[in-house]
Amino acid sequence: MKTQTIFRMFSLSLFFVLLGSVAMAQTKEEKKAKDAEMKAKQEQIEIQRKQMKEQQLKTIELEHVYADQAREASRARSSARVYSRSSGFDEPSYFIYSGSQENQSQLTIRNSFDGETDSAEGEFDVDESTSHIRCTINGKAKSGKITVKILYPGGKVFKDLSITSSAQISFSQSLTIQEEEKNKYIGAWKYKITADKAEGSYTLSFMTH
């Protein structure tokens, strides 16, 4: 009887020990799970914080790019040079210059004649940022002749066009500036307009970007 009682007490003690071990194991697992959950939340917060910082940096970078483009466009407009020297056209040539944020510029020159013999010349600049040039010449004459001559920066003739009563003239040419050809195109282009007893009109237009 005494032996049975001792055995029962031992079994009960062992049961409580095992129950305590299980409870402790569950507590550790719960703590580990909570720690893992908290770590995951902290990592997610850190990822979101990095993403926000990257977005802010991208926004600042874009703002700097837009500001640089605006300054460059303003600089291009302020540095444009157009010269004209006339020896006595009855009406002066008509100049239009415009610039844009894409570093695009346009120069248009127009004039009409009523039997005069005279000439005018000028120049316009093509800078290092230019990649394309487009030249357009239109004109007509009832009598006499109007000559439009355009020279590369180095002095060679780009176009020498005569406008007479034989036909109405419409000329257009586009140029793409390659890196190895920049010396040919970058610099001051010159134009010269000559009227020889001309009765008619012309339009000369340059566009660069």
Q: Report whether pLDDT(156) > 90.
A: yes
183 burial (CB, 10 Å; 0-12 / 13-18 / 19+) is exposed
The pLDDT tens digits for 32-44 are 888 888 888 888 8
In this predicted structure, the answer to whether residue 181 has a pLDDT above a threshold of 90 is no
C-alpha 41/C-alpha 5 separation (Å) is 54
pLDDT at position 24 is 67
Residues 83-208, CATH architecture: Sandwich (2.60)
User: What per-residue confidence (pLDDT) applies to 89?
Assistant: 41
Q: What values do phi and psi take at 160, rounded to 5? A: -130, 105
Domain boundaries of the chain, sorted by first residue: 1-78, 83-208
This prediction has a pTM of 0.54
